[in-house]
Structure 1
Amino acid sequence: MTVLVVAGCTAIDDPAAPQASDAKPSASPSAGVPGGEAADTGTLPGVPTAGQARAELAELKVAPHGSMSGYSRDKFSHWAEQGENCNTRETVLERDGTDVTRDDECRAVSGRWVSVYDGKTFTDASDLDIDHMVPLANGWRSGANTWTQEERKAFANDLTYPQLLAVSAASNRSKGDQGPDEWKPPSQAYWCTYARAWVSVKSDYELSVTEAENRGPGTNRRSPRGCR
């Protein structure tokens, strides 16, 4: 089977697939770096190398999406308190922004944020959503339905693995609960980092992937294996 790999964001056994960029804007949007160089993962923690992500993907269980029966966002309690009057949302906003100023209730009242999904710059925190790399509903369908409430709370508020990032509200809502076989960031420069982060979260939480997420290109070149 023809396989697309995370490493270098290039295709194996697919000469028709175009080369990819593998860079991520951090403080400002930037052009991709050709030739498969490692991406700058910026503030997003725990992003594996391409080789690590490829190895993790090979170990993931492949299964159809489970039922949405019983699902509710309320079963993934967020945003959790993180100390000093801050919750998870405010913590991520401070981490992902520059020159962030907070009020006495830890709300970001000024700063600058670049949404890595679409390269747009913001100075008003209300224009940003905190995206779950693996959406809560996707997590539910791929194994989180069997977790305890505390386990789901940890997943929804994870600051250790590459699960949370501040992005434009428009891009987050466009993504919804879709996987990378259905949606990728508008900024192609972020595709490889996105794929590696997605695989990492699925691996860290022992969640399954669908055949579409895992398979080679065929008619679908938007799987975590490849970043064209």
Structure 2
Amino acid sequence: MTARRPALIATTLLVAALSACSPNSVESGDAKPSTTASSSDAAPSSPAPGAPAGGNDLSLADAIALIPDGTEDRTGYERDSFHHWIDEDKDSCSTRNEVLLDEAVTKPEQGARCALTGGEWLSYYDEETVTAAGKLDIDHMVPLAEAWDSGASNWNAGRREQYANDLGSTRSLVAVTAKTNRSKSDKDPAQWLPPASSAKCTYASDWTATKLRWKLTADTAEKAALIELATACPDTVVKYDVAP
């Protein structure tokens, strides 16, 4: 399994100069409504247009420019269209618990059927230390509904399951406090940013890398918000690999 970073700590996949980051908060809006479900073929796994294959190391501004423009469409979305928290490697630990184990600052004890007790985590969205796994949510960096709006509606069920359980990138899934995850809901960066000022450059990079990894589009307001963040985070670097 690909090694993941503990929350808040960048790895070789992400170099973010957080001290340079002080973007203004963006006003959040209401979550978009849901309707009924549909599916089709998966997207191919070639690199984003204009980007080299086999891993891409870019400034935040240059990475944002590679996200394809698009118009979001929530038609047909249902959360159940993304089968998540599977046990892909059959070790009794679901995707949720795999993230909790990987991101723990102090490792929890692992009991039967991957029951976790003890441990300590740092939620980078709000810089809060959490000592009970049950108080953490695993956030899809680009929420499932936002992914649907941005291209996942055209994927088949297998591709959406792969997206919902993506342990192949350190930025796709992150353990954060339940209150921040639920405040975020299905909002994009034009509608919601993490409350901790230290988190904003990392969040912009994580969001951008996830969009590029899965070749998802961004609408006009989303791109404008990301560009504003890039201006405030000039030293932030994005490294990503296109999902297989």
Q: TM-score range by the shorter chain?
A: 0.7 to 0.9
Which of residues 184, 208, 216 in structure 1 aligns to 2:193?
A: 184
Alignment check: 8 A CA contact 1:196 1:224 kept: no
Give the drift of 1:33: 5.1
Q: TM-score, normalised by structure 1?
A: 0.74
Counterpart in 2 of 1:140?
148
Q: Which amino acid aligns with 2:63?
A: E
Cα 1:88/1:227, change in 2 over 3 Å: farther
Structure 1 residue runs of 4+, over 6 Å off? none
Alignment check: 8 A CA contact 2:18 2:199 kept: no
Which of residues 49, 59, 83 in structure 2 aligns to 1:77?
A: 83
Q: TM-score, normalised by structure 2?
A: 0.69
Which of residues 206, 219, 223 in structure 2 aligns to 1:197?
A: 206
Deviations 1:79-106 (A, max 9, x none): 1113211110000000111222111111
Q: Which amino acid aligns with 2:112?
A: D
Task: Spell out the pairing of 1:121-132 with structure 2 (5 A cutoff).
Answer: 121-132=129-140
Cα 1:33/1:148, change in 2 over 3 Å: closer
Cα 1:224/1:65, change in 2 over 3 Å: farther
Counterpart in 2 of 1:212?
221
Q: Which amino acid aligns with 1:178?
A: K
Give the drift of 1:223: 4.8
Q: Which amino acid aligns with 1:134?
A: V
Counterpart in 1 of 2:19?
34
Counterpart in 1 of 2:173?
164
Give the drift of 1:159: 0.9
Give the drift of 1:118: 0.5
Give the drift of 1:174: 0.1
Structure 2's unaligned 5+ residue stretches are 1-6, 10-16, 22-54, 234-244
Give the drift of 1:55: 2.7
Q: Aligned equivalents of 2:58 and 2:195: distance in 1?
A: 21
Q: Which has the higher contact order (CA 8 A, sep 6+)?
A: 2
Cα 1:129/1:146, change in 2 over 3 Å: same
Instruction: Give the alignment's Cα RMSD to 1 decimal.
Output: 2.4
DSSP-derived class of the 2:109 partner: strand
Counterpart in 2 of 1:96?
103
Q: Aligned equivalents of 1:175 and 1:110: distance in 2?
A: 26
- Number of aligned residue pairs: 185
Structure 1's unaligned 5+ residue stretches are 1-23, 27-31, 37-46
Counting aligned pairs with the same residue, the percent is 35
The reply to whether residue 55 of structure 1 matches residue 40 of structure 2 is: no
Cα 1:226/1:139, change in 2 over 3 Å: farther
